[in-house]
Amino acid sequence: MQLVIKNLSKTYPNGKQALHNVSLTIGTGMFGLLGQNGAGKSTLMRTIATLQDADSGSIFLEGIDVLKQPQEIRKILGYLPQDFGVYQNVSAEEMLDHIADMKGIGIRSERTSAVADLLKRVNLYDVRKKKLGSYSGGMKQRFGIAQALLGNPKLIIVDEPTAGLDPLERNRFYNLLSEIGENTIVILSTHIVEDVSTLCNDMAIIGNGEVLKAGKPAGIENELRGQLWEKEISKPDLQAYLQRGLQVISNRFHAGRLIITVLSDIAPDETFTPKTPSLEDAYFRLLSHNPLTHKNMPAHV
């Protein structure tokens, strides 16, 4: 099973071009879409989810023309948007039953069984009678995944699902998404590099509405092998290294000192040491090569 996106473009009425000739082929499993806020990730997710139209291009899933047959794709789609709201005074059990009914599970006994199974799967069964307003952020996200899984969808889209979660809830969410992705296409849209490196077998990096790089995380990392060097410096010295013309792709603090990462075919000088590349390094290297994304890069990572 494959989701095939070809030459997808979208420009909003205010002139903002959110997508520009985006082409991706996404197979079964976890696929990470990595990019900064405003890179075009949510626009792409909403377009795949048939919540907005594209100006041009096409999306196909197993013979279904997503843009021309929205009702057909919605039958096999599960979607957890970035801002997933819940009815505060309704229980998880009641809300899932209502959503199951809207998704076409008309027989009461089937809905009851499906709801109970999903609540157990996301570890919310013991609190199924509690109001959704009393849930923690992580519990609400797990409820969001439960509603997305109703009806055994073939395609699941989750947009920024771990933002705001504490480390324990994030780990639980990782485990749940990994389990789901074994037999389903799951697209994980995020600006958090760890989400992609932890969960995904395939990925794409998007910036300024364009696909900057696509492939397997390990392969994207390895493209930088032998080209990264790091050094611990004092913060006031950073400008001097930039003025030397060094390509500083990222910097981070450790024990009060600044460590810079430089992209170069050879060591800038004998004071630099080789660095094993990470997906984060590859991500920031691509952003540093794109002027429109580079200006919005975090100063420290």
The verdict on 210 and 227 lying in the same domain is no
Quick check: 44 pLDDT over 70?
yes
Evaluate whether residue 300 is within a structural domain. Answer: no
DSSP states along 235-277: GGGHHHHHHTT-EEEEEEEETTEEEEEEE-SS-SSTT-EE---
Residue 177 and residue 288 in one domain:
no
- Residues 17 and 133 occupy one common structural domain: yes
Q: Is 172 helix (H, G, I), strand (E, B) or coil?
A: helix
CA 2 and chain centroid, separation: 18
Mean pLDDT of 214-223: 94
Q: Are residues 238 and 199 in the same domain?
A: no
Q: By the 8 A CB rule, do 33 and 204 touch?
A: yes
CATH of the domain at 31: 3.40.50.300
Same domain, 192 and 231: no
| Structural domain contains residue 301 | no
Say if residue 161's pLDDT is above 90: no
Please identify, among 183, 198, 215, the residue that sits at the C-terminal boundary of a domain: 215
Number of independent structural domains in the chain: 2
What does the mean pLDDT of the chain come to? 88
Q: Of 177, 197, 215, which residue is a domain's last?
A: 215
Does residue 140 sit in the same domain as residue 230?
no
pLDDT at res. 301:
38
| Domain housing 194 | 2-215
Specify whether the CB–CB gap between 292 and 208 falls below 8 A: yes
- List the Cα angle 56/37/249 in 5-degree steps: 110
Neighbours of 136 (CB within 10 A): 11
Find the CATH number of the domain harbouring 274: 3.30.70
Q: Tell whether 34 and 162 lie within a shared domain.
A: yes
Residues 111 and 74 in one domain: yes
Q: Could you tell me the pLDDT band of residue 136, with boundaries at 50, 70 and 90? A: confident
Q: Are 32 and 205 in contact (CB under 8 A)?
A: no
Residue percentage of the chain with pLDDT more than 70: 95
Whole-model pTM: value is 0.85
CA dist., res. 81 & res. 152, Å (int): 18
Residues 183 and 274 in one domain: no
Residue 299 within a domain? no
Could you tell me if 98 and 211 lie in one domain? yes
Residue 290: per-residue pLDDT: 61
pLDDT of residue 195: 87
Rounded (to 5) percent helix, strand, coil in the chain: 35, 30, 35
If asked whether residues 35 and 170 sit together in one domain, one would say yes
